[in-house]
Amino acid sequence: MFDFSLITTWFDSLLRDTLGLGDFLSILIECVLVGVIILAAYAIIAIVLIFMERKVCAYFQCRLGPMRVGFWGLLQVPADVLKMLIKEIFFVDKADKLLYMIAPFLVLIGSVGAFAFLPWNKGAAVLDFNVGIFLLTAISSIGVVGVFLAGWSSNNKYSLVSAMRGAVQMISYEMSLCLCLISAVVLTGTMQLSGIVEAQGDAFGWLIFKGHIPAIIALVVFLIAGNAEANRGPFDLPEAESELTAGYHTEYSGMGFGYFYLAEYLNLFIIAGVAATVFLGGWMPLHIGVAQVDTVLDYIPGFFWFCGKTFLLVWILLWIKWTYPRLRIDQILKLEWKYLMPLALLNLVLMTVVAALGLHF
């Protein structure tokens, strides 16, 4: 398995030793370069996900999806991005202009911050702290504040209702998300994302195999709660078009609306990426205990393992969205507080017993 830290160490020594730039300039150049890479990957993945959802939606509805702009409609999303970039940004009368302007950036900051925690390959995690799970959940929670501020500051009663729905829903389902992640921490003994991945390097060592029933329950609950956390169907009640037009971002135009749009799709990718990292081994290949086969699997770059698992989970979440109808707000909250959270709590106790008694594989 290739260790990407060899490249980062070489680049750091190039700046410090070969070019003699010193600590401050070297760190500054590295931070700027990493920031550019994160933002570029963020934008590219958003474009891919938008196109992917349009095609998956079309497939489920027996349609072709976008086909006119470019071969097989490949240029449709870049054309939409260009249109959004040149659209006029207007302000709402009697709105709280400061909060109105800050809200999209808060949503984007929370999304980009969580995106930076994803470990793409061995040694290729931008943020890899020993309390990574804790920081990941804390930073991703910033988006809730942005959603509420967007609806509150827009001077629109429909946006306000949507923001209240979104805040209640996202805060509620964070409970189940965190409990599922704690279950993985109990089994692996670390909150560092790279450590969780490395703990799954044994034969059939992915958590869904190693932790068997409790890990599978945690994965299913995590995907359901993550779908609700990202405001994706059938949990997209804050953006119920038939009731609230576009929800909390109704009064936004241009890239103000674009930031919410970007964050929604990247939150979908982040949920799938965290699930792939914690429960499906992340960049770790599936070792089956046969030396020759495991050696061949190790030659596949970890980047492809991670992306393959993540996009598989994204496809499953899209499948769920375009299969089930939208739930009512009482059904959404009942599902969380009466079913998912008690199930996650019981599963955490079960995982603790499994880890303490050594009942895992």
348 lies in a domain?
yes
321 lies in a domain?
yes
- Asked, as a colleague might, if the bond just before 119 is cis with ω within 30 of 0, I would say no
97 lies in a domain?
yes
Sequential pLDDT tens for the chain (361 residues):
678 888 888 888 888 888 888 888 888 999 999 999 998 999 899 999 999 999 998 988 889 888 888 888 889 989 988 888 888 887 788 888 888 889 999 999 999 999 999 999 888 888 888 888 999 999 988 888 888 898 888 888 888 888 888 888 888 899 999 999 999 999 998 999 999 999 888 878 889 998 889 999 999 999 999 998 888 878 888 777 666 677 788 888 888 888 888 888 899 999 999 999 999 988 988 888 788 888 888 888 889 999 999 999 999 999 998 888 888 888 999 999 999 999 999 999 999 999 988 887 7
Count of the separate structural domains present in the chain: 1
How confident is the model at residue 346, as a pLDDT?
A: 95
Residue 245, domain extent: 88-357
310 lies in a domain?
yes
How confident is the model at residue 176, as a pLDDT?
A: 92
331 lies in a domain?
yes
129 lies in a domain?
yes
Distance between CA 223 and CA 225 in Å, rounded?
A: 6
Q: Which residues contact 219 (CB under 8 A, 6 or more apart)?
A: 180, 207, 208, 275, 279
How confident is the model at residue 114, as a pLDDT?
A: 92
Distance between CA 247 and CA 145 in Å, rounded?
A: 15
343 lies in a domain?
yes
How confident is the model at residue 312, as a pLDDT?
A: 95
353 lies in a domain?
yes
